[in-house]
C-alpha cells in the first residue's frame, strides 16, 4: 500500500510476500458488494442532487450551488474512478494498466480524478460552512458573498487540482515479472523516502485537520447563534415550538456534517501515518482489512455527501419525492393490475 492507495485502491503496487493475506474469497466479495452499493448511491444520489437544483428555480441559491459543486466532484469520482475500479474488481484484472502510452495516461488520470474529487468535496464542505456562517452571523455580508459563488467554485477546483499535481507526477507504470503495475515512484525529482512522508503530512493538515477544525469552530458559532435567537414581538406557543424544531434540525444537521467528515476520512489518514511513520505491523505492513475499511470509508463520503444536506432540507426531500413519484406510481399501477390505454384508446393490459 502506497501513499495514495488509501484513495486509490484500484491500482496495485508490486506484490509482496504477504500478498496471500488478502486472498480469502469471502472478504473480497464483501468488499465488492459494499463497493458496488457505494458506487450506485454515489451515481444516483449526486446526479439527483444536481437535477433537483437545476429544475427548481427557488433552489438557485449560493448554498445549493456549493452543494451541487460537491455533487459534481463526487460524481466525477464515481464515473472516472469508481466505475473502472469496480470493473477491475469483478474481472480480477487491471486491464487499463499497461506499459504503453494509454497505460501511462490512465494511471495518472485515475489518480487525478480520485485526488481532485476528494479535495473538491472537502474544500467545498469547508466553503459551505463559511457560507452558512455568514448567512447566520452576518446576513448583510452574506448577500455580497453569495454573488461570488462562481469564483468560489473556480477556486475550489484550482486548489483541488493543485493538491493532486504532485501525486500525478509520482504515479508511473512499472513492469514486475512482465506484468504492468501503476505504482508511486517519487524519484528522480524528489527523495523517494521523504517525499511520500511529507505529502502525507500535508494531506492530513490541509485536507483533514485544518478543515475539521474550521468546520467545527464555524458550526459551533452557528449553533450558539441559532439557539440564542428569539422570536421578535409577542410569540405564541406554536411559534415557539416551530422555532425549537428548527433549532434542533440545524443542530442535528451541523453535528452530522462534522461527524460524517471526521469519521469517513480518519481511518484513511491513520493508515497513511502508520505506513510512513511506524513499523508496528512488521514487514507485512498494514493489515488488508484495515486498508480496505479505510478505503471504503473514504469513498463512502462521496455517497453520503449528497445525503447530509438532503436529509435535513425540506426542499431536497420534496425534490427527491417528485423525482421518484413517477417510477413508484408506475410500479404500483402495474402491481395492482390497473388498465392502461394505448394512444389509439385500446386496452393494452
Based on C-alpha coordinates, what's the Rg of the chain? 24
pLDDT digits (tens, 9 = 90+) for 208-221: 999 999 988 988 88
From the list 136, 309, 141, the residue with the least C-alpha distance to 228 is 136
SS (H, E, C) 276-335: HHCCCCHHHCCCHHHHHHHHHHHHHHHHHHHHHHHHCCHHHHHHHHHHHHHHHHHHHHHH
Would the pTM count as exceeding 0.85?
Answer: no
C-beta separation of 131 from 143 below 8 A: no
> Per-residue pLDDT for 348 more than 50?
no
What SS3 state is found at 34?
helix
Q: What is the pLDDT of residue 154?
A: 92
d(CA 78, CA 68): 15
Q: What is the pLDDT of residue 343?
A: 41
For the CA atoms of 73, 77, 79, 83, what is the dihedral angle to 10 degrees? -160
pLDDT digits (tens, 9 = 90+) for 207-261: 999 999 998 898 888 888 877 766 565 666 776 666 667 667 766 777 787 888 8
- For residue 341, what is the DSSP state? B
Amino acid at each position: 500500500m502506497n501513499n495514495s492507495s488509501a484513495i486509490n485502491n484500484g491500482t496495485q503496487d508490486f506484490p509482496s510476500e504477504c500478498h496471500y493475506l488478502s486472498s480469502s474469497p469471502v472478504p473480497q466479495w464483501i468488499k465488492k458488494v459494499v463497493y458496488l452499493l457505494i458506487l450506485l448511491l454515489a451515481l444516483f444520489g449526486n446526479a439527483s442532487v444536481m437535477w433537483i437544483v437545476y429544475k427548481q428555480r427557488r433552489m438557485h441559491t449560493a448554498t445549493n450551488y456549493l452543494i451541487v459543486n460537491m455533487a459534481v466532484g463526487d460524481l466525477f469520482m464515481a464515473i472516472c474512478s469508481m466505475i473502472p475500479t469496480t470493473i477491475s474488481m469483478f474481472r480480477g484484472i487491471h486491464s487499463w494498466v499497461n506499459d504503453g502510452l494509454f497505460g501511462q495516461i490512465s494511471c495518472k488520470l485515475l489518480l487525478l480524478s480520485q485526488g481532485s474529487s476528494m479535495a473538491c468535496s472537502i474544500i467545498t464542505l469547508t466553503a459551505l460552512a463559511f457560507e452558512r456562517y455568514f448567512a447566520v452571523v452576518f446576513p448583510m455580508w452574506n448577500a455580497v458573498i453569495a454573488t461570488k459563488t462562481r469564483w468560489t467554485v473556480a477556486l475550489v477546483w484550482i486548489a483541488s487540482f493543485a493538491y493532486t499535481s504532485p501525486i500525478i507526477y509520482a504515479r508511473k507504470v512499472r513492469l514486475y515479472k512482465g506484468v504492468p503495475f501503476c505504482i508511486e515512484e517519487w524519484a528522480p525529482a524528489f527523495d523517494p523516502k521523504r517525499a511520500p512522508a511529507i505529502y502525507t503530512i500535508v494531506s492530513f493538515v490541509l485536507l483533514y485537520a485544518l478543515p475539521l477544525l474550521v468546520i467545527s469552530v464555524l458550526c459551533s458559532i452557528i449553533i450558539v447563534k441559532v439557539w440564542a435567537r428569539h422570536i421578535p414581538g409577542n410569540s405564541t406557543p406554536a411559534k415557539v415550538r416551530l422555532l425549537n424544531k428548527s433549532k434542533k434540525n440545524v443542530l442535528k444537521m451541523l453535528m452530522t456534517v462534522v461527524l460524517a467528515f471526521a469519521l469517513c476520512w480518519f481511518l484513511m489518514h491513520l493508515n497513511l501515518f502508520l505506513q510512513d511513520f511506524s513499523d508496528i505491523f512488521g514487514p507485512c505492513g498494514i493489515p488488508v482489512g484495515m486498508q480496505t475499511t479505510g478505503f471504503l470509508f473514504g469513498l463512502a463520503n462521496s455517497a453520503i455527501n449528497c445525503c447530509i444536506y438532503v436529509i435535513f432540507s425540506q426542499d431536497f426531500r420534496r425534490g427527491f419525492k417528485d423525482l421518484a413519484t413517477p417510477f413508484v406510481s408506475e410500479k404500483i399501477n402495474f402491481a395492482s393490475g390497473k388498465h392502461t390505454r394505448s394512444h389509439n384508446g385500446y386496452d393494452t393490459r
